[in-house]
Amino acid sequence: MEKPVTFENNGEQLVGILHIPNGLQREKAPAIVMFHGFTGNKSEDHRLFVQVARNLCNAGFVVLRIDFRGSGDSEGEFEEMTLPGEVSDAKKCLDFLEVQSQIDKERTGVIGLSLGGRVATILASKDERVKYVVLLSPASGPLREVFASLAGHEAAMKLKQGEAAKVSNGWYLKKSFFDTIDEPVPLDVIAKIKVPILIVHSDGDQVVPVETSKRGYEIIRNLNESNELYIVEGGDHTFSEREHTLEIINKTREWLLSLRS
């Protein structure tokens, strides 16, 4: 079963889709929250999140896909978005799942794509409710200078004056985003995560270099016996080729199920 759900953070409504396995009655199920990337939404590029969520739901997981505030169908404006704001939204997702009768709170994890992987890492580094983490093409390194280059020199004055600066076609951000995007840098806090972590990254990613995930894995390699780095050969940032989509779905499902055995 798939149903729309809503809940609030700081007076603004977040919109999500909750996937519940058919026939789930008395038995409590493990749960997963999915965090989308920059300018993304709860469906993600080529409906990647829909495909992942349905597959994991069929495998027995309750899955929540949400739009961060300012993205997709959720309330708020994109230009007001900050990294701490998205981490705050992520915490509200865990709060929402905690009160669902079908959920096993001791088996709740997160999946994050790109900037959503940044959010997932930061959340898991300080919230003990997260019991496992899947990072897809995670943006784990410093990003302030990357986004500053996207905005360009002319944007600096606008930002100082409190105006929003264009960072991509149709997408504008304010100074608060740039000031907080590296607070913290995930590579600086990932060692705090003691629960299992799966990092999935394509060697052909032109948005976030795979070397970033390799550095992250070297930090966590020996922190948990289930930690793993999985490289998709020839893939891109969102695993858009059908065979790569299926590959990462199967890998994610198999890894998650291995934690239950």
* Predicted pLDDT at 159: 86
* Model confidence band, residue 260 (pLDDT cutoffs 50, 70, 90): confident
Q: Which of 24-38, 128-142, 183-197 has the lowest mean pLDDT?
A: 24-38
* Model confidence band, residue 110 (pLDDT cutoffs 50, 70, 90): very high
Q: Say if residue 168's pLDDT is above 70.
A: yes
* Model confidence band, residue 56 (pLDDT cutoffs 50, 70, 90): very high
Q: 3-state secondary structure string, 114-183?
A: CHHHHHHHHHHHHCCCCCCEEEECCCCCCCHHHHHHHHCCHHHHHHHCCCCEEEECCEEECHHHHHHCCC
- Pairing mode of beta strands 62-66, 103-113: unpaired
**pTM of the model as a whole:** 0.96
Q: Say if residue 111's pLDDT is above 90.
A: yes
* Model confidence band, residue 155 (pLDDT cutoffs 50, 70, 90): confident
* Model confidence band, residue 154 (pLDDT cutoffs 50, 70, 90): confident
Every domain of the chain and the residues it spans? 2-141+181-260, 144-179
CATH of 2-141+181-260, one of 3.10.270.10, 3.40.50.970, 2.50.20.10, 3.40.50.1820: 3.40.50.1820
* Percent with pLDDT over 90 in the chain: 87
* Model confidence band, residue 261 (pLDDT cutoffs 50, 70, 90): low
* Predicted pLDDT at 164: 93
* Predicted pLDDT at 25: 67
